Amino acid sequence: MPKHAVIYARISQDRTGEGGGVTRQLADCRAEAQRRGWPVVAEFVDDDVSAYNGKTRPQYRAMLDAIRDRQADAVLVWHMDRLHRRPIELEEFADVCARAGVGDVVTLHGEFDLGSSDGLFVARLMGAVAANESDAKSRRTKRKQLELAQAGKPSGGGPRAYGYQADRVTLDEAEAAVIRDLASRLLAGEPLTSLTTWLQDSGVRTVMGKEWRTPTLRNLLKSPRIAGLREHQGQVIGKAVWPAIITEEEHSQILALLSDPSRRTNRTPRRYLLSGLCRCGRCGAKMVTGQSRNRRRYMCRSGPDFGGCGGTMISATVEELVVDAILYRLDTPELAAAIDGRHRADESSAALSESIAADAAKLEELAEMWAAGELTRPEWRAARQTLDARLIANRRRQVQQAGSTVIAGHMGNASALRAAWGSGDMPLGQQAAIVRALVDHVIIRPGTMGARSIDPSRVEIHWRL
């Protein structure tokens, strides 16, 4: 009586995506089933899935279920290492087959009777050899990856990085220009959500042709790669052979900015330009935003959740007054003098940059010493923690010192900024970043009941710069 067989095929890496290896395995197994006169009741294929790393193989598990259900009494596989490269899986497979009465496991390189002690012994030997081969291959691969990283070279596999061509070294100039624009706008204070919306509205896609999402954009801007740095296992270990898109200083500022725990990542879309900046002129409480009679307003709210007096309210058209004042101030010599004075007073800026560069160099040296075996892991970790703590603190200071960069390109050029602001092309997040670079807070004084327009004397702007 002919046996009913199932076929299992697997390939651990399919770089071309064509499934050629699996196709050949299936063809050979089908031919063997035909030669033996065994009808094939099911085929199970795990394509581009390793049998060594312990990850779930969906089709392998489905085959075990089919055996448990007694749908077959024989298994055909191209080679035993296609079934298992981990001894623990072989033992499970042998147990399932024994309980279901499946004794025949046929490969193109021999047969195994898992129901006999000799057959199981041979299968175990072959499984141990396959596991050792996989372990040796893993060690060689890891060593090769480290060598590439230490040389600053890219490693293969996976899609190309955004900003670089398929060789992973040559710049894609169009994408690099997008990255530079994104980095400068982020450092200028524009939120990631606003930048993501701009990418989507502009039709800019990822290397996989998908729409950008905020986490994807965050990872791109935090990546050492775009600063020309080589990362290995989450650590920067030196310079890369590919050209940088942004400077290392900009990379440090972005890391400090995006790692700041005070940044909220679950913000709702901004609707009010002066959110958090308005103060009640009567009690000094921070005013909240909301709608009253279907109009946007800034309000002093009373009650235990707000703590204000409840006596001040102003239409959100106050934003227009503040924007006009900002655009006027950008063209004044007083602002230029204020920024120049800040830069002159900040004599530690150069020293801070030098300290960051020195600590970054020490981290590279530390990584080289660990890779060369000159340091134990505890020694490396202790030194790394000290340098990391100092770098994080200094990078935060650097971001704070860079506060005036948001308006640097607009000083003396308020007419162009006014045109962009009025056209609707400038995202609200970018507008808010400019406002916050110049304005510390705005005092709103109580108004006259029934007034149809805002009295400018009610609005008192306290400048940051």
Q: What CATH number does residue 72 fall under? A: 3.40.50.1390
Q: For residue 394, how many other CB atoms are within 10 A of its CB?
A: 18
3-state SS class at 104: strand
252 and 106 assigned to the same domain: no
Compute the average pLDDT of residues 181-210. Answer: 86
> What's the pLDDT at 343?
47
- Does residue 418 sit within a domain? yes
The more confident residue out of 92 and 206 is 206
206 and 85 assigned to the same domain: no
- Does residue 270 sit within a domain? no
The more confident residue out of 434 and 163 is 163
> What's the pLDDT at 396?
60
Least Cα distance to 228 among 249, 213, 245, 214 occurs for: 245
pLDDT bracket for residue 187 (50, 70, 90): confident
Is the Cα dihedral 195, 427, 438, 300 positive or negative?
negative
Helix axes of 117-150 and 348-371: crossing angle, nearest 10 degrees: 150
- Does residue 157 sit within a domain? no
288 and 434 assigned to the same domain: yes
> What's the pLDDT at 457?
92
Are 29 and 77 a contacting pair, CB within 8 Å?
Answer: yes
**Phi and psi, residue 443, nearest 5°:** -85, 125
Could you give the number of structural domains in the chain?
4
Compute the average pLDDT of residues 127-154. Answer: 65
439 and 402 assigned to the same domain: no
DSSP label of 56: -
Lowest mean pLDDT among 73-77, 184-188, 230-234: 230-234
Q: Which amino acid is at 177?
A: A
Compute the average pLDDT of residues 123-140. Answer: 61
Lowest mean pLDDT among 104-118, 277-291, 419-433: 104-118
Are 391 and 339 a contacting pair, CB within 8 Å?
Answer: no
Compute the average pLDDT of residues 288-317. Answer: 87
- Does residue 203 sit within a domain? yes
Question: What does each C-alpha distance from 438 to 68, 253, 435 come to in angstroms?
Answer: 71, 20, 5
* Strand pairing report for 5-11 and 235-239: unpaired
437 and 316 assigned to the same domain: yes
205 and 236 assigned to the same domain: yes
Domain end (from 391, 407, 423): 407
Structural domain span for residue 291: 278-331+412-463
Compute the average pLDDT of residues 156-172. Answer: 87
324 and 453 assigned to the same domain: yes
pLDDT bracket for residue 116 (50, 70, 90): low
Residue 207, domain CATH: 3.90.1750.20
115 and 62 assigned to the same domain: yes
Question: What does each C-alpha distance from 305 to 51, 155, 163, 308, 340 come to in angstroms?
Answer: 57, 54, 47, 9, 42
118 and 37 assigned to the same domain: yes
Are 289 and 454 a contacting pair, CB within 8 Å?
Answer: no
For the chain, the average pLDDT equals 79
- Does residue 336 sit within a domain? no
Partners of 286 in the β-ladder: 279
DSSP string, 385-431: HHHHHHHHHHHHHHHHHGGGHHHHTTTT-HHHHHHHHHHT-S-HHHH
Residue 164: exposure state from Cβ atoms within 10 A (0-12, 13-18, ≥19):
buried
- Containing 326, the helix (H) or strand (E) segment is helix 318-329
The more confident residue out of 91 and 404 is 91
43 and 126 assigned to the same domain: yes
132 and 241 assigned to the same domain: no
Above 50 in pLDDT, residue 92? yes
> What's the pLDDT at 434?
84
Partners of 298 in the β-ladder: 289, 314
The residue length of the chain stands at 465
pLDDT digits (tens, 9 = 90+) for 15-52: 444 444 788 888 999 998 998 889 999 999 987 666 55
Residue 439 and residue 274: Cα distance in Å, rounded?
10
Alpha helix segments (H runs only) across 7-155:
20-36, 58-68, 80-83, 87-100, 117-150
